[in-house]
């Protein structure tokens, strides 16, 4: 295996990601909002808090996963984005069902809330997925600028303030996802490169196993099935344990990432 295949990307450091800090503010604000305005015994209370928590937690887990898998990082960040979309609908429902006004984007109150986001340093060469927040110390609470609006404001002000926060967080996540997609296409992650190297090695090592396999037409052309799970070519293997020990079977060349198998029928 070459050095390129062994290379592992930096991971973690999520506490300084702008998207994580914004999602944390959304989570804290949602807990405070639900405690004030949503019945704690209702499913809505729990669902809103859990959706806000999912947004924050999946950003953190995706950042940790970057060490080994760009695909996992991308998937978890997408889950975070979807969770916040779900939460956004809950706040819109709250306003509509109680006949409160949802602020327009150019409403002076919405503009004021958006302006609370401080100017950040856009440069951080060590992190290719999001611009880290270097203007605030790590122990600064990102929820603080919004606390009075959420905890002292009327229901309409509190809900609209959090809607503004969610939109800002989703904007950051959209940019982050765009970078992650490009990074995955261009470079992948450790596990993706390792899997590609293993498939290449298995293709060479399995050539002898395939040499005696012919299709049912009798033409002598090697017939190697594709894995029904992931579509990769399969290789001939022999079961070592269990009731079929000693029997030949098809196994996915991407194992252990894919565990697809297929019985060999004579």
pLDDT of the residue at 43: 96
Which whole number is the average pLDDT over 187-207? 57
Name every residue whose Cβ is closer than 8 Å to that of residue 84 and which is 6 or more positions away in sequence.
23, 26, 51, 52, 55, 166, 169, 170, 173
CA nearest to 62, candidates 32, 46, 83: 83
Which whole number is the average pLDDT over 198-216? 51
% of the chain residues with pLDDT over 90 = 47
Give per-residue pLDDT as tens, 152-195: 999 999 999 999 999 999 999 999 999 888 877 776 655 555 55
pLDDT of the residue at 27: 98
pLDDT of the residue at 228: 77
Which DSSP symbol is given to 132?
B
When the pLDDT of each residue in the chain is averaged and rounded to a whole number, the result is 79
Distance (Å, whole) CA 90 – CA 74: 25
pLDDT of 72 > 90? The answer is no
**DSSP element (H, E) containing 184:** helix 155-186
pLDDT of the residue at 196: 59
Counting other chains too, the contacts that 31-37 makes at CB distance below 8 Å and 24 or more residues apart are 32/147, 32/150, 32/151, 33/150, 33/158, 33/159, 33/162, 36/151, 36/155, 36/158, 37/94, 37/155, 37/158, 37/159
Mark 210-245 as b/e (b = at least 16 C-beta within 10 Å): eeeeeeeeeeeeeeeeebeeeebbbbbbeeeeeeee
pLDDT of the residue at 66: 79
Name every residue whose Cβ is closer than 8 Å to that of residue 51 and which is 6 or more positions away in sequence.
30, 83, 84, 86, 87, 90
Q: Degrees (nearest 5) of the Cα angle 101, 104, 105? A: 150
pLDDT of the residue at 199: 62
Q: How confident is the model at residue 202 (pLDDT cuts 50, 70, 90)?
A: low
pLDDT of the residue at 197: 58
pLDDT of 10 > 90? The answer is no
**DSSP element (H, E) containing 261:** strand 261-263
pTM: 0.64
169 CB neighbour count, 10 Å cutoff? 27
% of the chain residues with pLDDT over 70 = 72
pLDDT of 99 > 60? The answer is yes
Distance (Å, whole) CA 119 – CA 156: 27
Cβ-contact 70, 187 below 8 angstroms: yes
Higher pLDDT, 121 or 50: 50
């Amino acid at each position: 295996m070459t050095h390129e295949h062994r290379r592992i990307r930096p991971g973690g450091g999520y506490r300084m990601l702008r998207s994580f800090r914004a999602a944390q503010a959304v989570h804290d604000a949602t807990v405070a909002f639900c405690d004030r305005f949503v019945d704690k015994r209702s499913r809505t209370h729990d669902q809103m808090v859990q959706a806000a928590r999912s947004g924050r937690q999946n950003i953190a887990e995706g950042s940790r996963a970057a060490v080994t898998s760009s695909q996992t990082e991308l998937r978890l960040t997408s889950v975070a984005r979807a969770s916040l979309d779900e939460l956004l609908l809950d706040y819109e429902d709250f306003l509509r069902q109680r006949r409160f006004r949802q602020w327009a984007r150019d409403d002076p109150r919405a503009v004021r809330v958006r302006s609370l986001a401080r100017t950040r340093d856009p440069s951080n060469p060590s992190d290719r997925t999001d611009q880290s927040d270097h203007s605030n110390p790590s122990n600064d609470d990102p929820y603080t600028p919004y606390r009075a609006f959420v905890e002292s404001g009327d229901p309409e002000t509190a809900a609209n303030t959090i809607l503004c926060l969610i939109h800002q967080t989703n904007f950051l996540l959209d940019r982050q996802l765009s970078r992650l997609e490009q990074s995955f296409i261009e470079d992948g992650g450790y596990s993706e490169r390792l899997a590609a190297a293993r498939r290449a090695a298995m293709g060479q090592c399995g050539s002898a196993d395939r040499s005696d396999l012919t299709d049912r037409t009798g033409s002598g052309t090697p017939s190697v099935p594709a894995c029904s799970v992931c579509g990769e070519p399969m290789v001939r293997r022999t079961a070592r344990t269990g009731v079929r020990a000693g029997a030949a079977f098809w196994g996915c060349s991407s194992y252990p990432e894919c565990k697809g198998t297929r019985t060999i029928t004579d």
